[in-house]
């Protein structure tokens, strides 16, 4: 049974989502703010599979909560899906840049919500487990770790998945739409800026010798 943690300051929304998830056989825990949500996650881990996280909350908002979660490698396998009442690019891009896996716009439509959650959990179960190694860089897909020479790197989830995708076929050029589909999924819109930011962060951590830009097309792992 999959366990979903709902972090939202609006009681009606928490109750609506919880009711529909429980009807579908999910185990549900609720938290009314960011601090409580982080506490519940700490208490329940590793039972929590997915977090539904409201962006706009007082005191500690969803972006800050996500950032704190992604700083702890023990939560790398937890999926984070944002709930946002705003359709501006800022909410979506900021959430994804913080380490979110997807977002759902409010008002929440129960059938869409359930479908999106199931799709995210399927992607988690079927994600490739193959490892890759290249000139001092090794990617361990099972442990979500990257080894650079004698260093162990703990990358945020999306940075890791982007690197693993590029390294899965050294020399192969991955177009931007392919990267979006494979790393962020087809249900959300990710701008070029988000991909570029993740590549820049990867280069800062592993060096500039592994990922090449193919102008106007996408990126490739240097063979």
Report yes or no: 137 and 146 within 8 Å, Cβ to Cβ. Answer: yes
- Give the number of other CB atoms < 10 A from CB of residue 170: 14
> How many domains does the chain divide into?
2
Out of 14-18, 45-49, 74-78, 120-124, pick the least confident. 120-124
CA–CA separation, 102 vs 122, rounded Å? Answer: 14
CA distance 176 to 215: 11
Residues 63 and 97 occupy one common structural domain: yes
Cis ω for the linkage preceding 46 (within 30 of 0): yes
Question: Which CATH number fits the domain that encloses residue 84?
Answer: 3.40.50.2300
Predicted structure pTM score: 0.62
Report the DSSP beta bridge partners of residue 83. 54, 104
Q: Nearest to residue 155, comparing CAs of 164, 166, 165, 144?
A: 144
Among 126, 157, 180, the domain boundary falls at: 126
43 with 66, same domain: the answer is yes
Taking only the tens place, the pLDDT of each residue in 24-36 is 999 999 999 999 9
């Amino acid at each position: 049974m999959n366990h979903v943690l709902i972090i939202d300051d609006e009681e009606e929304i928490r109750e609506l989502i919880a009711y529909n998830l429980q009807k579908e056989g999910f185990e549900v825990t609720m938290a009314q703010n960011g601090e409580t949500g982080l506490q519940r996650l700490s208490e329940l881990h590793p039972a929590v599979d997915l977090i539904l996280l409201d962006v706009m909350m007082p005191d500690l908002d969803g972006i800050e909560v996500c950032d704190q979660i992604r700083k702890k490698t023990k939560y790398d396998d937890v999926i984070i899906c944002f709930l946002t009442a705003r359709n501006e690019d800022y909410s979506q891009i900021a959430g994804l840049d913080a380490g979110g896996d997807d977002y759902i716009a409010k008002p929440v439509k129960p059938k869409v919500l359930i479908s999106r959650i199931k799709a995210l959990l399927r992607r988690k179960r079927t994600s490739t487990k193959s490892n890759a190694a290249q000139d001092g860089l090794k990617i361990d897909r099972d442990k979500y770790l990257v080894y650079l020479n004698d260093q162990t790197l703990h990358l945020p989830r999306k940075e890791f998945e982007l690197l693993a995708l590029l390294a899965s076929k050294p020399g192969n050029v991955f177009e931007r739409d392919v990267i979006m589909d494979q790393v962020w999924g087809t249900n959300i819109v990710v701008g070029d800026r988000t991909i570029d930011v993740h590549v820049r962060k990867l280069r800062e951590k592993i060096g500039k010798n592994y990922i090449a830009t193919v102008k106007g097309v996408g990126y490739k792992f240097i063979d």
